[in-house]
């Protein structure tokens, strides 16, 4: 690495770092004194280069531009990362804390937009998929969801209200044709009250009652033709008794019921792990900074096997989160799960491991 320090004017010193092997720029930082202790002014960081087998220069094309004030991030910062896909982050800082506009852009599509106030999400936010279609939109207050939210999942539009980060009151889900898909009540983030769900043609699918997040009393589940698939009695969330029928209307003998069958990757678990292994590209910036760990990704497997509602539950770093989401988005359709002898949309959580060395 080659280091060059230039005094541009009184109180303005610019440090340039250049790759020794290729003579290309690495970084450019502005300081307020010759001892280069306090960053004050513009900052630029260019693509990372490293040597593979001491022969080949490998470039990690990204660029960071921003501004420091008294050694703290200030004003607008822009990150361009073209590792695997074009991604841009636009963040506004005040005294090293996110404060103002935040945007994430992927391949020219605005994916996330909103604002921070003293490091916490505040006001209206939008989230979009890679095609630019809305996934969800709503408001935050001091970093938690608060107010009306609309969530778009495939052909379904879900609408309801959050209070201090928890779902409350009536929530409804509607099909593209405007018919109601699901109706339920929430109390402090838990189901509480009547629950009803319908097929797209308006035929009843499920009906029952929740009390403090647990099923209670009589529940009925139906096939699309209106015939019962299951009848159950619940007490404090536990099944007291139940009966199952097949699509022909025949009662299924005890021990042969399929109450639950999880969604699965085509070819099974080993095929899934092989797909992940072959498609993960370890972010070079994470390699350079020694970032590793497990990213837990949750997603919905729909009735047709398509994946939606992809979100990270836990991750050691945003770099790994973005790569894990990219891999999930590339997956083929899954084999949908079953519940109450019916094909159902089910949530699935997948851990993706990132290890160095």
pLDDT exceeds 70 at position 306 = yes
What is the reported pLDDT for 303? 81
- Domain residue limits at 52: 1-60
Contacts of 225 (CB under 8 A, 6+ apart): 203, 247
Q: What is the mean pLDDT of residues 42-55?
A: 70
Specify the CATH number for the domain of residue 325.
Answer: 3.30.2420.10
pLDDT exceeds 50 at position 84 = no
For residue 179, what are the CA distances in angstroms to 96, 151, 152, 183, 214?
48, 16, 15, 11, 27
284: left (phi over 0), alpha (psi -120 to 50) or beta: alpha
Most confident of 102-111, 152-161, 194-203: 194-203
Contacts of 282 (CB under 8 A, 6+ apart): 323, 354, 356
The residue among 63, 53, 51, 52 whose CA lies nearest residue 21 is 51
pLDDT exceeds 70 at position 53 = no
Helix (H, G, I), strand (E, B), or coil: what is residue 273? helix
Overall domain count for the chain: 2
Q: What is the mean pLDDT of residues 281-294?
A: 87
Domain membership flag for residue 20: yes
pLDDT exceeds 70 at position 55 = no
Instruction: Out of 42, 60, 78, pick the residue that ends a domain.
Output: 60
What is the reported pLDDT for 62? 66
Is the CB of residue 209 less than 8 Å from the CB of residue 194?
yes
Query: Binning pLDDT at 50, 70 and 90, where does residue 257 land?
Result: low
What is the reported pLDDT for 56? 55
Contacts of 44 (CB under 8 A, 6+ apart): 25, 27, 28, 29, 63, 64, 65
Question: What is the pTM for the complete model shown?
Answer: 0.71
Instruction: Out of 10, 35, 60, pick the residue that ends a domain.
Output: 60
Instruction: Out of 43, 60, 77, pick the residue that ends a domain.
Output: 60
pLDDT exceeds 70 at position 61 = no
What is the reported pLDDT for 213? 93
Contacts of 80 (CB under 8 A, 6+ apart): 62, 63, 64, 86, 87, 88
What is the reported pLDDT for 25? 85
Q: What is the mean pLDDT of residues 317-343?
A: 88
Question: Strand locations in 254-327, DSSP E?
Answer: 260-261, 293-301, 307-314
What is the reported pLDDT for 88? 86
Helix (H, G, I), strand (E, B), or coil: what is residue 250? coil
pLDDT exceeds 50 at position 150 = yes
Give residue for tokens 């202790």: 37
Q: What is the mean pLDDT of residues 19-33?
A: 86
pLDDT exceeds 60 at position 110 = yes
Is the CB of residue 40 less than 8 Å from the CB of residue 69?
yes
Domain membership flag for residue 282: yes
Domain membership flag for residue 202: no
Compute the mean pLDDT over every residue in the chain, rounded to the nearest whole number: 89
């Amino acid at each position: 690495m080659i280091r060059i320090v230039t005094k541009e004017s009184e109180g303005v010193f610019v440090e340039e770092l250049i790759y020794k092997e290729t003579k290309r720029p690495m970084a450019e930082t502005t300081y307020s004194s010759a001892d280069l202790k306090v960053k004050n002014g513009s900052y630029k960081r260019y693509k990372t280069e490293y040597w593979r087998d001491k022969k080949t220069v490998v470039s990690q094309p990204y660029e960071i531009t921003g501004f420091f004030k008294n050694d703290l991030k200030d004003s607008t910062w822009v990150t361009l990362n073209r590792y695997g896909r074009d991604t841009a982050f636009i963040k506004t800082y005040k005294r090293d804390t996110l404060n103002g506009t935040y945007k994430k852009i992927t391949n020219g599509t605005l994916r996330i937009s909103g604002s921070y106030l003293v490091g916490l999400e505040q006001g209206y936010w939008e989230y979009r998929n890679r095609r630019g279609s809305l996934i969800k939109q709503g408001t935050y207050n001091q970093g938690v969801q608060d107010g009306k939210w609309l969530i778009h999942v495939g052909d379904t539009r879900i609408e309801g209200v959050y209070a201090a980060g928890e779902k409350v009151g009536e929530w409804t889900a509607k099909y593209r044709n405007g018919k109601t898909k699901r109706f339920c009540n929430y109390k402090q983030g838990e189901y509480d009250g009547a629950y009803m769900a319908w097929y797209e043609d308006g035929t009843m699918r499920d009906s029952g009652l929740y009390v403090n997040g647990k099923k209670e009393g009589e529940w009925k589940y139906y096939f699309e033709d209106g015939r019962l698939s299951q009848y159950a009695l619940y007490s404090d969330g536990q099944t007291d008794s139940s009966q199952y029928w097949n699509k022909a209307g025949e009662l299924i003998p005890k021990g042969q019921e399929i109450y639950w069958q999880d969604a699965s990757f085509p070819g099974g678990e080993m095929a899934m792990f092989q797909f992940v292994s072959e498609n993960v590209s370890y972010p070079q910036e994470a390699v350079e900074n020694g970032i590793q760990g497990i990213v837990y990704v949750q997603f919905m497997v729909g009735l047709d096997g398509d994946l939606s509602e992809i979100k990270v539950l836990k991750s050691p770093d945003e770099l790994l989160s973005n790569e894990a989401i990219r891999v999930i988005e590339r997956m083929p359709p899954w084999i949908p799960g079953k519940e109450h002898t019916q094909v159902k949309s089910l949530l699935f959580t997948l851990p993706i491991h990132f290890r160095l060395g």
